Amino acid sequence: MNIQLTTVHFTADQKLIDFVNKKVPKLDTYFEGIIGAEVILKVEKPETANNKIAEIKLSIPGADYLFAEKQADSFEEAIDLAIEAVRKQLTKFKDKLKDK
């Protein structure tokens, strides 16, 4: 799976990049046909709480893409929430394929 990481309004440290590269490929266990993932990390208003946003866009065959956007106090938490949301979408998509 090809993972593209984009950051907006900040520079990601290696620890955060490693976290994304460790977590996102695990989605392959739910659906093997994932072509790629685009992860966008943003800081909304630096002075406020709950200001870290993680967006995940998965390219899969048979549909354009699956998308989730979550907001939390830390990037790790936001990434985990977004991955969970995309995982649910993948499971539903896989079930639809079985029904056909």
For the stretch 18-47, pLDDT in tens is 999 999 999 999 888 899 999 999 998 877
pTM of the model: 0.91
Candidate ranges 57-66, 74-83, 89-98; pick with highest mean pLDDT: 74-83
Q: Among 66, 56, 58, which residue's Cα sits nearest to residue 35? A: 58
To which residue do tokens 């989605």 refer?
A: 27
Give the architecture (CATH level 2) of 2-99.
2-Layer Sandwich (3.30)
8-state DSSP, 28: G
